[in-house]
Amino acid sequence: MLEEKNDNLSPIENETDGNQENVLNNEIKETAETVSEEVETAPLTSVEEEVVVEISPEELADDSPMTESEHQKALNAIDDSNAEESEDETLKDRHNIPLLDYHAMSMETLVDELEKLSTVEKVMSIKEHVEEIKKEFLSKYNHFIDEKRDEFLAENPDSTEDFEYHLPLKPKFDSLYKLIKGKQNAHFKSLQNNLQANLNRRLAIVEEIKNLINPQENIKDTLKHFNELRDEWRNIGPIPRDKYNHVWNNYHFHVENFYDYLHLDREARDLDFKHNLEQKQKIIARVEELVNEEDITKAFRELQDLHRIWKEEIGPVDREHREEIWNQFSALTKQMHDKRESLFANQREKEVANLERKKAIIAEIEELAKVEVTAHSQWQGYIEKVEKLRNDFFSAGKVPSEVNEDTWAEFKTAVRNFNSHKNAFYKDIKKEQSDNLNKKLALVEKAKAMSTSEDFAATTPLMKQIQEEWKQIGHVPRKYSDKIWKEFKEACNHYFDRMKATRNEANSEEIEAFDKKKAYLDSMKDFELVGDHKTDLEAIKAHIEQWKSFGKVPFSRRHIEGKFNKILDALFEKLSLSKKEGDMMRFSNKLEQLAGSDDSRKLEGEKIFIIRKIDEIQSEIFQLENNIQFFTNAKKDNPLVKEVLKNIEKHKDELETWKDKLKQLRNLSQE
């Protein structure tokens, strides 16, 4: 490049011959006069105009003639990107940070991604990422808050309270976003302080290069000054992006103008032109390779860098090759741009397919919002379906940017309509749930009142009854459900725990009673009647009283009572008691056992059984007496008549026995 060949630009520096110097001075003078004359007399061309006025980027692009219109779009895309990155070099790193599908992420994942980005030092390189995350997070957050508001209004239709909902994730997001924006603002402020100063200095250098065409100055000093200006140009920092192309184009124009019109040191200039041509040919060769690169995005980023090198680091070439080589470069750029546009077109097709999928999801949700549902279980199924559709919507991928907001709005509307339909159903059953709540609260109070009862025989069936009632009562408002269930459960558990503890104490006594009765049974094996009716009867009664004094036995071992009753039956049979006397004595013993069981239901059951038996016997007697009427002409000694009369007497005796039992049972109840 030119700055690498300063020694060749001024070969006359080593000459000491005065005549040679005069020849050179004359050449400079003649050349300058020729240039001056041409400028004054010749019609102004676009290049000659630039000696006097600056040109715009539209009038001249890089070191080429006017670019063809079909290539301009590709060139502008690269120039715009390079202009942006030249203003702030940290933007170049944005290509190394992938732009993820933030739309498919949950709010929690979005905050995690924002937290990762907050640690990146070059904060301007993540500007697009941060704004995408912000857009998606706020969309999902606002949708979430809308749903919570709808739920609140559905559950509290008459409430005068303002709706408030605090999502812990929101303050964390706000804090991270504020942190990143603070870093970006500080960076931008620092950058802005330097951009304008750098721009002013670059414009001043352009003016100085314009003024180098002065035949009155020594060529040695002119070239030295020119190289100093070029070195300074390279070391000046970034300038505003909107000035980038214009300033660079003017700078290149005046550098070329310096070469083309001074005609100084043609050999050094030609060598520099040749070197620059070789460098640009190498770039073209590399671009030809990039055209076949599979990773189009990566290849296009490298093409941007090659454009920057072409424009900012490599000097001009001779006019003979200038247009040709530029056309080659711009044509290859157009090919790369077309491939990139094709890639974008494919992405566009995917986005359109994603849009169709999302519209289908929205349509499904809209249909679900119209279904008439009459049961809570059905609603649970539809709620699960909508939740799945929501997840499918978020994972369906990006849609075309121009319809993204509309699609999101349609989705939110569909979900809101479904929720409104659902909330209307639950609003209708809210009164029922309120009634259920009152019923369950009443059962809670009953359970608490009975939880301290000592009458376990009477209270236990009532406790079991209210537990069954609790099961039959429907749902209550969710915010009360856990609380009242806990209270009810604690009251029931308190009662049954006390009952169990009491029974455990009683069980030890019952086991002791069983052991005593078992030993007593063994002792009765040796008992013999003495033959005196009265004495034997008193002895049997004494055994019964002794047996009763031992108390109750465990329920699982009550078979021992049957063994004792069998012994009594054998003794009564030996004693030759009347059937009624024996029956009544056994019944009396049975009543004593029932009374000692503390189970009123057993006594009541025995009472019902006796009454039923009395009714049955009375019916039998009535039937027999009715049958005897058919034997009006039969004699009393008729065998058939005698049998019927005998049965009537037998049933009457049995009836008296059962009536005596009922009387004895009633007397026991009164006691």
Contact 98, 125 (CB under 8 A): no
Residue 228, domain member (yes or no): yes
Q: Which of 141, 160, 149 is nearest to 423 (CA)?
A: 149
Quote the pLDDT of residue 8: 31
Q: Of 209, 244, 264, at which residue does a domain stop?
A: 264
Quote the pLDDT of residue 654: 82
Same domain, 154 and 14: yes
Contact 530, 540 (CB under 8 A): no
Instruction: Give CA torsion, residues 577, 579, 582, 587, to 10 deg.
Output: -170
Cβ–Cβ contacts within 10 Å for residue 582, how many? 17
Quote the pLDDT of residue 70: 57
Quote the pLDDT of residue 485: 92
Q: Of 484, 504, 524, at which residue does a domain stop?
A: 504
Residue 523, domain member (yes or no): no
Task: Return phi, psi of residue 64, to 5°.
Answer: -110, 165
Does the pLDDT value for residue 231 go beyond 90?
no
pLDDT tens for 291-304 read 888 888 888 888 88
Quote the pLDDT of residue 613: 84
Range scoring the smallest mean pLDDT among 108-112, 126-130, 213-217, 527-531: 213-217
Quote the pLDDT of residue 40: 32
Residue 404, domain member (yes or no): no
Q: Of 504, 522, 556, at which residue does a domain stop?
A: 504
pLDDT tens for 520-575 read 888 887 788 777 777 877 888 888 888 878 877 777 777 888 888 888 777 777 77
Inter-helix orientation angle 319-368/266-290, to 10°: 30
Residue 171, domain member (yes or no): yes
Residue 545, domain member (yes or no): no
Confidence bin at 363 (pLDDT 50/70/90): very high
Same domain, 202 and 91: yes
Cβ–Cβ contacts within 10 Å for residue 283, how many? 21
State the total domains in the chain. Answer: 3
- Amino acid identity, position 247: V
Q: Which residue has the higher pLDDT, 589 or 322?
A: 322
Residue 286, domain member (yes or no): no
Quote the pLDDT of residue 264: 52
Same domain, 494 and 612: no
Quote the pLDDT of residue 221: 77
Q: Is 331 left (phi over 0), alpha (psi -120 to 50) or beta?
A: alpha
Size (the chain), residues:
671
Range scoring the smallest mean pLDDT among 34-43, 208-217, 358-367: 34-43
Task: Return phi, psi of residue 237, to 5°.
Answer: -75, -165
Residue 33, domain member (yes or no): yes
Confidence bin at 42 (pLDDT 50/70/90): very low
pLDDT tens for 322-344 read 888 888 888 888 888 888 888 88
Same domain, 464 and 610: no
pLDDT tens for 596-627 read 555 667 777 778 888 888 888 888 888 887 77
DSSP sequence for 381-444: HHHHHHHHHHHHHHHS----HHHHHHHHHHHHHHHHHHHHHHHHHHHHTHHHHHHHHHHHHHHH
Q: Which residue has the higher pLDDT, 385 or 41?
A: 385
Cβ–Cβ contacts within 10 Å for residue 531, how many? 9
Instruction: Give CA torsion, residues 451, 452, 453, 454, to 10 deg.
Output: 130
Quote the pLDDT of residue 82: 59
Question: Which contacts qualify for 499-505: CB closer than 8 Å, 24 or more apart?
Answer: 499/456, 499/460, 502/456, 503/456
Confidence bin at 480 (pLDDT 50/70/90): confident
Secondary structure in 3-state letters for 545-569? HHHHHCCCCCHHHCHHHHHHHHHHH
Range of the domain at 656: 600-671
Quote the pLDDT of residue 158: 63
Quote the pLDDT of residue 26: 39
Quote the pLDDT of residue 441: 92
- With tokens 């290509």, the residue in question is 95
pLDDT tens for 249-280 read 888 788 777 766 555 556 667 787 888 899 99
- Region 18-37: mean pLDDT is 36
Residue 563, domain member (yes or no): no
Quote the pLDDT of residue 486: 92
Same domain, 132 and 243: yes
- Region 164-180: mean pLDDT is 84
Confidence bin at 151 (pLDDT 50/70/90): confident
Task: Return phi, psi of residue 120, to 5°.
Answer: -70, 130
Quote the pLDDT of residue 595: 64
| Chain centre to alpha carbon of residue 344 | 31
Does the pLDDT value for residue 88 go beyond 60?
no
Q: CB within 8 A of 569, min separation 6: which ones? A: 582, 586
Quote the pLDDT of residue 622: 84
Same domain, 498 and 619: no
